[in-house]
Structure 1
Amino acid sequence: MPDLDPAADGPDVGARLRDLRRRQGMSARALADTLGISPSAVSQIERGVLQPSVSRLIAITDALGVPLAAVFEASAPDRDGAGTDAGFALQRAEHSSTVELDSGVTFRRLSPGPSPGIDYFESCYPPGASAHSETELFRHDGYEVGTMISGELTIDFEQERVVLRPGDAISFSCARPHRIHNTSAAPAVAQWLIVHPPR
């Protein structure tokens, strides 16, 4: 699998994906068939031997019918006791949940609680990192809105290339083939909102 590399130290993404798969009542073989990879590759991801790329992670959550936010560990309760029982959700900075993926790309959940139909997160792409290691473009469910915070990110579409710099914003259908990568010498940080179609 060209877009799967040995896992790095970090949150146990694989165990969380295995739990989500089991909750959906899907076998590892069925998931592998949906993704077009081997059951062994699914097993290695779930055991933490391989860390998924951004595109593989999104493909898995799409196949399971769960939002990307479901991958993040549940946040610790707020120390002040504020939460959904109080009519709002609050997440303190020290309880922010981050996952590390292939190529050192990190995702940090920004939404403090469940946000049905919406994934809101921050990504950090180290220099040279890509949403997946292949040069092909990929697509997934939803509609994406992104804002650059620092550094530069390049998005390749079928007929054009867009370079995002701090303060730039972009929106596009995730069904449009694309590839996100960092061709600069500095880390690239962006905030993303993915709006999912009703299931």
Structure 2
Amino acid sequence: MNKKEYLGIILIALASISIILFLYSNNRELKKANTMLQLEKQVLIDNTDSFEYLNSITVDTFENRIKNKEDIFVYIGNSECADCSTFSKNLKNEVNNFPLKNSLYLVEISRLHRNKKKWTEFKLKYGFDQTPAFILFKNGKVNSMIQWDEKKGLSSDSFHRWLEENRNDIENLS
């Protein structure tokens, strides 16, 4: 075997090894991306299910009601939000056990959330910074609020206590 043949075999072997490593690496990345996609789909499914039992209004309707100085109790939620999904089971329990069905309105903000500038302005305008956020407005102004905490989350006990503290105002909305 001469040097050219030997060099050709080595180059073919190196090229084959490179291709195998590239394909292996790509396969791992695809599996990782697929896993993330499945998790995102599950969040969307979980939230969509939890939103079905709530009255909902659009962002525009919500803003008009605030502009008209109405009393309203809203859940600022996002069907693409993992924190909202995590909290959805607690919310469903409270809706079943506390008279919320006719007083709580979902403002679903997933579309708004995709525009960083508008989302930031919206949060500043209404005084919250995390979702899920539950805000009780009186005369178009924030009267009381509880929201997800980035470090602590939002426990069902905290949410229930907050609802009890605001029971009279919430019941007056029904």
Considering Cα pairs closer than 8 Å and 6+ residues apart, tell me whether 1 or 2 has the greater RCO.
2
**TM-score normalised according to structure 1 size:** 0.24
Higher strand proportion: 1
**TM-score normalised according to structure 2 size:** 0.26
Higher helix proportion: 2
